[in-house]
Amino acid sequence: MMAGGAPRIILETERLVLRSWLERDRDLFREINADPKVMEFFPFRRNHAEADALFDRVNAMIKEDGLGFYAVELKETGEAMGFCGLAPANMPGIFPSETIEIGWRLATRFWGNGYITEAAAALIGHGFVAMQLAAIVSFAVEGNHRSTAVMKRIGMRRCPEMDFDHPRVPETHPHLRRHVTYAIVNETALPGLND
């Protein structure tokens, strides 16, 4: 559903609901896209108009095919904290067109509670079982140890042969260009490849 209606629930975990975005989440979405700590490894921050446009695009994508960066809601309070989702990697020339990535972003006040690890682990299972994905990738700036730690905790493996210089990061930010890649394959679809 779009931001004005009932949310589309993707899945639930012990503490979390992963769902489409609601209008009441817009301020949180603006916050996480402008916060210098959250966006430390990105070459830009989004103003309100840019964040709103992305909010609407992400929600339309979830409505269209069920893929996207879903709102992560804390069951205890009903509050959105950030996002975690499965989406097309959209990196032509880097990954094949059908490549699906897992990504996340969380407001700093919720860091350190394992929420993203919980959400991402559940999404890996959902992607492999419900969506029958063959593999899922994730990538981050080489020095983004918080994100790569999550990748390791959810069972992803480093794939140095797939590391790349991000084509959408300006050369004026050389320390943000190099990205490391992690991946996990669906053992049901491709047995033995995670060994």
What's residue 43's pLDDT? 83
Residue 26, burial from CB neighbour count under 10 angstroms (0-12, 13-18, 19+): middle
Residue 195 domain-assigned (yes or no): no
Residue 140 domain-assigned (yes or no): yes
Measure the CA–CA gap between 47 and 129, rounded to whole angstroms. Answer: 37
Domain count along the chain: 1
Cβ contact 56:63 at 8 Å:
no
What's residue 126's pLDDT? 96
Residue 96 domain-assigned (yes or no): yes
Cβ contact 105:32 at 8 Å:
yes
**CATH code of 173's domain:** 3.40.630.30
Residue 33 domain-assigned (yes or no): yes
Structural domain boundaries enclosing 19? 9-185
10-residue mean pLDDT profile of the chain (195 residues): values are 70 97 97 95 91 95 93 97 96 94 97 98 96 96 96 97 93 91 84 48
Q: Would you call 93 helix, strand, or coil by DSSP?
A: coil
Residue 118 domain-assigned (yes or no): yes
Residue 38 domain-assigned (yes or no): yes
